Amino acid sequence: MKKLKTTMGQLPRELDKLTTKDWHFTIGKGKATYHIWALANNSCGLHYCYRSDKYGMLSAKRAVEPNKEVTLHYN
């Protein structure tokens, strides 16, 4: 898989450039993988990242600041 380091605020722009649907991202040192993120209304800029378990159910949520470094993994 290829890696691209960016920030949480730039992640939507980087994903628009990809032609593949197979991707995930890690935050910080990359111990956990995330597939979903959202910018909630009235959240003062915090992004929420969601993990899923092996059955496809949402299992964890994490609040992330827009300037936090993320690594995008894609094929």
Determine the Cα–Cα distance for residues 30 and 65; give it in Å rounded to an integer.
16
Q: Please give the model's pTM, rounded to 2 decimal places.
A: 0.82
Residue 5 has pLDDT above 90, yes or no: yes
48's CB contacts (< 8 A; 6+ apart) are 37, 38, 39, 40, 61, 62, 63, 64
Q: Quick one: pLDDT at residue 40?
A: 78
* DSSP category for residue 56: S
Looking at the structure of the chain, the number of domains it has is 1
Residue 43 has pLDDT above 80, yes or no: no
- 3-state SS assignment for residue 48: strand
44-48-51 Cα angle (round to 5):
175
Q: Domain range for residue 45?
A: 2-74
